[in-house]
């Protein structure tokens, strides 16, 4: 008999991917179908994020709400990073929860489902060679995670504690999965890892030496895969060989997320990022040089920035603004520092903490600066011709929408294309940060 699954996913693309794995495992092995109504569900799953404190704090009120409205006999499971972080405490605090499944234990979903009050959060668990069931429906874009865990020790980050040490997924498995996806009509792959360009440092099976650059090259040779993207690389591991392949390989989209975190070398050191402001700017300059050498004049650069890290002075924050002005990021995710347990920054003395109002003001200034930059950059896009992969269309209103190679979302006016179709578009208008154009 078919049962219904409701799943709520918070956090990063890795969590999205974990949810996809869970949905596919439950569909194939337990006959679950997705519902978007929790009141209808036989199983309610909350796939959580713990990178900042706020969503974690909301978890218990959410469980309470689901418990109040759920069907009689329906189960509630908590998975993801908060599950790893809080473990059995979740069941102690909330008796409505039937099982807890850590971010590194996702392949055990069918086991915990049948074990009352199961808590599976082993941080050393290794499912890097586990072959998950395939999703039942496939779009034109697919996520593919190439490694699990993270070996970095960034002083603000709880992820190494929730996802454990870094292990790469064997290349053969990745290539065969990518071929399977291509055969199902996937055109664009988004490779995922906490630190993608550290690929190949550790495998849990005997393995030939393969680095991220080689993996990219091998994946790009698969017929049917038209575009490759990846997130997130670490600026420290962006060597020239990688930048050259990025620039040269036509299938690698010319958009890259390079988390800056701070523009101040002093704060970067306190964050244990392993690079300086100068190193970061040099890598961006090299990237643009390599791309220009290949005739690619536009490369989309995205970033993550934390403001209000302990000890951040006004001058340090000015350094961050300076980098933002210099690089002119195309996308920027920005956050106020949130102290997290199990991180080394959590122990920093309280006299160094940045006042909450000051941090809020810095975040607003940073975001305003970025808005101005984006509006200016968008104006410069007018007249350019770009390749767009159509992801969405509206027959009645007569438009399509998709992303350019350099990752800008573009509305194509007066054209209803097929989803998955690649079209050449001239950009004709920019409104704030958004772009529209017409087919040429």
Residue 208: CA atoms inside 13 Å, Cβ hemisphere, count?
A: 5
Residue from 15, 220, 334, 404 in contact with ligand SF4 (CB under 6 A): 15
Residues 152/340, Cβ–Cβ less than 8 Å: no
Cβ nearer to ligand 5AD, comparing 275 with 337: 337
191 near 225, Cβ under 8 Å?
no
Q: Which of 7, 101, 157, 363 binds ligand 5AD (CB under 6 A)?
A: 157
Shortest Cβ 307–ligand SF4 spacing (Å): 18
Q: Which of 4, 6, 11, 388 binds ligand SF4 (CB under 6 A)?
A: 11
In angstroms, the Cα distances linking 319 to 63, 262, 263, 316, 324 are 42, 8, 5, 5, 9
**Residue 204 CA from chain centroid, whole number:** 24
What does the radius of gyration of the chain's CA atoms come to, in whole angstroms? Answer: 22
Closest to 127 measured CA to CA, from 149, 110, 111: 149
Does 51 sit near ligand SF4 (CB under 6 A)?
A: yes
- Alpha carbon distance 249, 435 (integer Å): 26
Number of residues counted as binding ligand 5AD (CB under 6 A) = 13
CB atoms within 10 A of CB 74: 20
Give the residue, chosen from 49, 181, 260, 425, that forms a contact with ligand SF4 under the rule CB under 6 A: 49
The contacts of residue 440 (CB under 8 Å, 6+ apart) are 385, 424, 425, 426
Rounded distance between C-alpha atoms, residue 394 and residue 440, angstroms: 19
DSSP letter at 419? T
d(CA 132, CA 122): 19
Using CB distances below 5 to 8 A depending on partner kind, what does residue 81 bind out of ligand 5AD, ligand SF4, none? ligand SF4
Cβ proximity of 252 and 290 under 8 Å: no
Closest CB 192 distance from ligand 5AD, rounded Å: 12
203 near ligand 5AD (CB under 6 A): no
- From 147, 101, 154, select the one nearest 126 (Cα to Cα): 147
Q: Which stretch binds ligand SF4 (CB under 6 A): 8-16, 28-36, 178-186, 223-231?
A: 8-16
| Residues 99 to 128 in contact with ligand SF4, rule: CB under 6 A | 103
**Total site size for ligand SF4, rule CB under 6 A:** 13
Piece of 49-57, 136-144, 211-219, 367-375 that binds ligand SF4 (CB under 6 A): 49-57
Q: Could you tell me the strand order of the sheet in which 331-336 lies?
A: 255-257, 300-307, 331-336
> Judged by CB under 6 A, does residue 52 bind ligand 5AD?
yes
Which member of 162, 195, 400, 407 binds ligand SF4 (CB under 6 A)?
Answer: 162
Which of 38, 80, 193, 259 is in the footprint of ligand 5AD by CB under 6 A?
A: 259
Rounded least distance, CB 211 to ligand SF4, Å? 23
Binding region for ligand SF4 (CB under 6 A) out of 9-17, 23-31, 237-245, 315-323: 9-17
CA dihedral 244, 245, 246, 249 (to 10 degrees): 130
Which residues, 6+ apart, have CB-to-CB distance to 174 below 8 Å? 144, 146, 215, 219
* Residue 437 contact among ligand SF4, ligand 5AD, none, beta carbon within 5 to 8 Å by kind: none
329 binds, among ligand SF4, ligand 5AD, none (CB under 5 to 8 A by kind): none
> Per CB under 6 A, does 149 bind ligand SF4?
no
14 binds, among ligand 5AD, ligand SF4, none (CB under 5 to 8 A by kind): ligand SF4
Would you give the binding string for ligand 5AD spanning residues 303-342, x where CB under 6 A is met? -x-x----------------------------x-xx-x--
Closer by beta carbon to ligand 5AD, 152 or else 251: 152
Q: Which does residue 337 touch among ligand SF4, ligand 5AD, none (CB within 5 to 8 A, set by kind)?
A: ligand 5AD
Cα–Cα distance measured from residue 331 to residue 315, given in angstroms and rounded to the nearest whole number: 24
> How near is the Cβ of 323 to ligand 5AD at its closest, in Å?
14
* 214 close to 255: Cβ distance less than 8 angstroms: no
Cβ–Cβ under 8 Å, residues 29 and 110 = yes
In terms of CB distance, is 163 or 227 closer to ligand 5AD?
A: 163
If one asks whether residue 81 binds ligand SF4 (CB under 6 A), the answer comes out as: yes
- Measured from each CB, the residue nearest to ligand 5AD is 304
Residue nearer to ligand 5AD on the CB measure, 249 or 343 = 343
DSSP states along 269-305: HHTT-S--HHHHHHHHHHHHHHHHHTT----EEEEEE
Residues that bind ligand SF4 (CB under 6 A): 11-12, 14-15, 49-51, 80-81, 103, 159, 162-163
């Amino acid at each position: 008999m078919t049962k219904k699954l409701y799943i709520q996913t918070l956090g990063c693309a890795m969590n999205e991917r974990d949810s996809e794995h869970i949905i596919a495992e439950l569909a194939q092995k337990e006959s679950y179908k997705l519902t978007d109504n929790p009141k209808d569900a036989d199983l309610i799953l909350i796939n959580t994020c713990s990178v900042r404190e706020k969503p974690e704090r909301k978890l218990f009120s959410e469980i309470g709400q689901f418990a109040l409205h759920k069907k009689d006999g329906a189960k509630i499971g908590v998975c993801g990073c908060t599950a790893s972080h809080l473990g059995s405490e979740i069941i102690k605090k909330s008796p409505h929860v039937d099982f807890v499944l850590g971010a590194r234990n996702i392949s055990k979903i069918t086991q915990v489902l049948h074990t009352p009050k199961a808590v599976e959060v082993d941080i050393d668990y290794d499912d890097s060679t586990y072959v998950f069931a395939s999703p039942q429906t496939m779009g034109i874009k697919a996520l593919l995670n190439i490694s699990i865990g993270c070996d970095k020790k960034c002083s603000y980050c709880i992820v190494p504690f929730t996802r454990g040490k870094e292990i790469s997924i064997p290349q053969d498995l990745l290539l065969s999965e990518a071929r399977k996806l291509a055969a199902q009509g996937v055109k664009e792959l988004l490779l995922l890892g906490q630190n993608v360009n550290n690929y190949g440092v550790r495998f849990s099976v005997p393995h030939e030496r393969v680095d991220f650059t080689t993996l990219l090259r091998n994946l790009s040779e698969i017929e049917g895969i038209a575009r490759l993207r990846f997130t997130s690389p670490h600026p420290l591991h962006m060597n020239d060989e990688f930048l050259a392949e990025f620039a040269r390989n036509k299938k690698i989209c010319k958009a890259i997320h390079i988390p800056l975190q701070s523009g101040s070398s002093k704060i970067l050191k306190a964050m244990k990022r392993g690079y300086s402001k100068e190193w970061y700017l040099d890598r961006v300059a090299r990237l643009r040089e390599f791309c220009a050498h290949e005739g690619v004049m536009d490369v989309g650069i995205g970033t993550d920035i934390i403001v209000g890290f302990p000890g951040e002075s006004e001058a340090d924050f000015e350094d961050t603004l300076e980098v933002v002005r210099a690089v002119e990021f195309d996308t920027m995710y920005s956050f106020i520092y949130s102290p997290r347990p199990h991180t080394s920054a959590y122990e920093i003395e309280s006299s160094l903490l940045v006042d909450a109002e000051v941090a809020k003001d810095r975040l607003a200034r940073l975001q305003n600066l970025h808005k101005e930059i984006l509006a200016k950059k968008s104006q410069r896009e007018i007249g350019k011709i770009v390749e767009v992969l159509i992801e969405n269309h509206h027959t009645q209103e007569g438009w399509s929408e998709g992303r350019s190679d350099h990752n800008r979302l573009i509305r194509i006016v007066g054209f209803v294309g097929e989803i998955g179709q690649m079209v050449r578009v001239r950009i004709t208008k920019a409104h704030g940060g958004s772009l529209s154009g017409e087919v040429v």
